[in-house]
Structure 1
Amino acid sequence: MRKKEIFYRGLTYISGALVFFLVGFLFLYIFLKGYKVINLNFLLDVPQGMVLGQEGGIAPAIIGSFLSTFIACGVAGFFGIFTSIYLVFYEKNQRKIKIIQSIIKCIGGIPSIVFGLFGYTLFTLYFGFGKSIISGGLTLGIMIFPVVEIRIEKSLREIDENILKASYSMGVSKFYTIYKIGIPYCLKEIMASILLGYNYAIGATAPIMFCMAVINSPISFDIKKPAMSLSYHLYTLMTQGISMEMAYGTAFILLALIVVVTIIFQILLRKRDE
């Protein structure tokens, strides 16, 4: 038994070290390839150059990515929370629950390019939003909805039933119990689920190619207009062979934004617990 424990613990340490090494190597490699272009102008300027993107910065892409991802997280978080509450606390028919869960899982398996075509048809054309940040954000929200909902539902199902029954036995309504006990109890997991959706959405390219992204745009916070995106800008720089240094610089900023937002979320949640 002792040998098995040592063996499995060794595998755990090796796996953790391997993952840490690969992530560190990825960051270091991308940084070394693009650090020469990373400066304040790169972060605050617009793309420039004889061939657009060879010079200048990526400020419009950063803003466009943040706005579209913020909308996506809002949409996915809202529907993810309420869908999970319905499935866990209100729907008692197991057959209906399994059908709804199967549909959500099927949505999660749809290729991102299909979401792009769907968003273009529904939001850009049918609803008349045109190619805009709001069209891209709503499309991304649908794409990350399964990721958010499944994790939130799992966290809600792990709430101790004795806590809920104690609340019900005191005459507290189900809605108030969920609002005051259920949601706060799972707040960490809910925020982690939305954060995972954010990380998924900010790096997506295919859904926004049709609904939002353009090669160049001014610095703007208007969600009714099209905008640049970090992922699409990176895709353009790489596929068109415009500038590999700019591409690596953009890739590093994209990864850095994911890490920075993750750290901020962790700090805020830790302060809340204190």
Structure 2
Amino acid sequence: MRKKEMFYKILAYFGGALSFFLVGFLFAYIFYKGYKVINFKFLTDVPQGMILGQEGGIAPAIIGSFLSTFIACLVAGFFGIFTSIYLVFYEENEKRIELIENIIKCIGGIPSIVFGLFGYTLFTLYSGLGKSIISGGLTLGIMIFPVVEIRMEKVFREVEKEILNASYSMGISKFYTIYKIVIPICLRDIVATILLGYNYAIGATAPIMFCMAVINSPISFTISKPGMSLSYHLYTLMTQGISMEMAYGTAFVLISLIVFVTVVFQFLLRKKGENIE
């Protein structure tokens, strides 16, 4: 038994070390390939050059990515939270729960390119939104909804039954119990789940390719117009062979944004938890 324990412990440490090494190597390699172009102008300027993208910066792509993923997180977070609350606390028919869960899992298995075609048809063409950031954000929101909902449902099911029963026994309504007890208890996991969806959405290319992305745009915060995206800009730089240095610089900024947002939110949640305690 002790040998088995030691074996699994070694495997766990090895897996952790390997993951840390791979992430570190990925960051170092991409930074090494693109560090020459990463400067203040690169982060605040628009694409320029004889072949667009060879010079200048990626500011419109950063703004477009933030706006589209923000909309996506709002959409997926809103529907993910309320769907999971309904399935966990209100729906009592097991067959109906199973049916809804299977449908959500099937949605989660749809390729991102299909979401792009769906979003283009529904939002860009028939809803009158046109090719715009809001069309891209809504499409991304539908794409990441299953990721958010399935994880949130798991979080809500892990809330201790004793806490819920104690609240109900005092005559407190189910809605008030969820709003005042369940949500605060699960807040850190809820934010972490939405961040997982954010990380998934900001790197998606196919959905926004059809619904919002353009090769060049001015620096703008208007969501009713098309915009650039980091993932699509990186795709263009790579596939068209415009500039590998600019491509690696864009990739490094994309990864850094994911890490930065995740670290900031985790820090804020930790501070909030300390204040509550």
TM-score (norm 2): 0.99
Match of 1:6 in 2: 6
Match of 1:226 in 2: 226
Structural mapping, 1:204-243, within 5 Å: 204-243=204-243
CA deviation vs aligned residue, 1:63-114 (integer Å, no higher than 9, x gap): 0000000000000000000000000000000000000000000000000000
Match of 2:121 in 1: 121
Code of the residue aligned with 1:16 in structure 2: it is: G
Query: What's the secondary structure of 2:227's corresponding residue?
Result: coil
Code of the residue aligned with 1:33 in structure 2: it is: K
Q: Distance in 1 between matches of 2:79 and 2:244?
A: 40
Match of 2:146 in 1: 146
Q: Distance in 1 between matches of 2:209 and 2:65?
A: 12
Q: Distance in 2 between matches of 1:190 and 1:97?
A: 21
Q: Distance in 1 between matches of 2:57 and 2:65?
A: 14
Match of 1:255 in 2: 255
Unaligned 5+ segments in structure 1 are none
Residue 170 in 1 paired to residue 167 in 2? no
Code of the residue aligned with 1:40 in structure 2: it is: F
Residue 99 in 1 paired to residue 99 in 2? yes
CA deviation vs aligned residue, 1:172-216 (integer Å, no higher than 9, x gap): 011000000011111111111100000000000000000000000
Match of 1:194 in 2: 194
Query: What's the secondary structure of 1:186's corresponding residue?
Result: helix
Code of the residue aligned with 2:144 in structure 1: it is: I
Code of the residue aligned with 1:130 in structure 2: it is: G
Structural mapping, 1:10-89, within 5 Å: 10-89=10-89
Q: CA deviation at 1:14?
A: 0.6
Q: Distance in 2 between matches of 1:2 and 1:144?
A: 43
Query: What's the secondary structure of 1:215's corresponding residue?
Result: coil
Code of the residue aligned with 2:116 in structure 1: it is: G
Q: Distance in 1 between matches of 2:115 and 2:85?
A: 25
Q: Distance in 1 between matches of 2:266 and 2:166?
A: 31
CA deviation vs aligned residue, 1:6-38 (integer Å, no higher than 9, x gap): 111001111111111111101000000000000
Q: Distance in 1 between matches of 2:43 and 2:106?
A: 38
Q: Distance in 2 between matches of 1:219 and 1:52?
A: 15
Code of the residue aligned with 1:116 in structure 2: it is: G
Query: What's the secondary structure of 2:224's corresponding residue?
Result: coil
TM-score (norm 1): 1.00
CA deviation vs aligned residue, 1:137-181 (integer Å, no higher than 9, x gap): 000000000000000000000011110111111110110000000
Number of positions where the alignment pairs a residue of Structure 1 with one of Structure 2: 274
Q: Distance in 2 between matches of 1:131 and 1:109?
A: 25
Code of the residue aligned with 2:236 in structure 1: it is: T
RMSD of Structure 2 on Structure 1 (CA): 0.4
Q: Distance in 2 between matches of 1:85 and 1:3?
A: 44
Q: CA deviation at 1:2?
A: 1.0
Query: What's the secondary structure of 1:251's corresponding residue?
Result: helix
Q: Distance in 1 between matches of 2:154 and 2:188?
A: 13
Runs of 4+ in 1 over 4 A off after TM superposition: none
CA deviation vs aligned residue, 1:202-238 (integer Å, no higher than 9, x gap): 0000000000000000000000000000000000000
Aligned-pair identity (%): 81
Q: Distance in 2 between matches of 1:160 and 1:5?
A: 30
Code of the residue aligned with 1:79 in structure 2: it is: F
Q: Distance in 2 between matches of 1:88 and 1:2?
A: 40
Unaligned 5+ segments in structure 2 are none
